[in-house]
Amino acid sequence: MTMRRRTCLQAGLAAMAGTLAGMPALAWADDSFPRRAIKLVVAFPAGGPTDITMRQLAENASKILGQPIIVENRPGASGSLPASQLQSTPADGYTIAQLPMSVMRLPFTTGLKWNPVEDLSYILNVTGYAFCMVASTQSGLKSWDDVVAWAKANPGKLTIGNTGTYTSPYVTSAIIAQQLGLDVVHVPYKGSAELMRATMAGEVMVAADTSAVIPYVDEGRMVALNVWTEKRLPTLPNTPTLMELGLPTTQYSPFGLVGPKGMSASVQAKLHDAFKQAMEMESYQTMLKRFEMLPIYMNSADYKAFASESTALEREALKQLNASSV
């Protein structure tokens, strides 16, 4: 199955220079908000690419809003903890969360009791991950062909680390293994930093992760095996795409900010406008480039529509893996 995000990429990148159609007008915003610090809950551990880029975005937005934005890390549970926290949080705008794509899968894998589309207030999408697979230079694996050959010769022994069960790296690497008829072991970790440590320590042979691994490749500690974008990444020009390797699969996962269900239009608008301005600051753009991430903007209405579409697509992907409970 081809897991394309072409529509959202085209819409998101085009919208960076477009209008704020679908957003409440800033003129409606409540000038009294915010009167105190805002908490931003991030779904991955401190020190990883998501945390680093979100902290830069929060710092930028705090200057615009005139109040501190405090980042709290809540990794685990396939990235669902921040959004789950919002289900019992007042919808006053003082607690918001980063929403990973993996949350769109959870109604079909964990029996999630709330609806990711309807039970959140969508503020805006801010960026997205590019993905790839890497191996430690100590592993002896030098190419994707080496990995496939070793896996076929040693059924059930190839270990592939990922950033959590039912995250995009897990689901896509499972689909890749299925397409190739490989018997592998998937090993979940709580984010990129933990996964990279485990890979370099030899706990897993291969890691499926975001493009945050590129600095490790540049330093000679990792070898890039493949990338999951439609075209090769400029920073990994010698690394083939899955399509080039004969696998009809691409993956790119946008993510953004959400608040509790029932947030007022005025507060939602003020948060939207502040974070959109924060996205456009050079400091944030530079941080995204460091990790091969793109500024993918979607306004509130478009972001919610994308979430609805993505939920349906993820359900079909999980059916392909026979992982869906519905």
The reported pTM is 0.74
Q: Which residues, in sequence order, are bridge partners of residue 96?
A: 40
Question: Cβ neighbours of residue 10 under 8 Å, at least 6 residues apart?
Answer: none
> Cα(300)–Cα(188) distance, rounded to whole angstroms?
32
Q: Estimate the crossing angle of helix 168-180 against helix 300-320, to 10 degrees.
A: 30
Among residues 92, 220, 72, 206, which one has the least CA distance to residue 149? Answer: 206
pLDDT at 17: 39
Pairing of strands 184-188, 69-73: unpaired
User: Could you give all domains of the chain from N- to C-terminal order, each with its CATH number?
Assistant: 6-128+253-320 (3.40.190.150), 130-227 (3.40.190.10)
Kindly report, residue by residue over 256-293, the tens digit of the pLDDT: 999 999 999 999 999 999 999 999 999 999 999 888 78
Say if residues 278 and 57 touch (Cβ distance below 8 Å). yes
In this predicted structure, what is the pLDDT of residue 79? Answer: 83
Stretches where the chain sits below pLDDT 50 are: 1-29, 324-326
> What is the rounded CA–CA span in Å between residue 112 and residue 287?
33
Q: What's the confidence (pLDDT) of residue 211?
A: 82
- pLDDT for the residue 186: 96
User: What is the SS3 string spanning 227-265?
Assistant: ECCCCCCCCCCCCCECCCCCCCCCCEEEEEEEEECCCCH
Is residue 255 within 8 Å of residue 126, measured between CB atoms? yes
Q: What is the pLDDT of residue 181?
A: 95
Digit-coded pLDDT (tens) for 39-48: 999 998 898 8
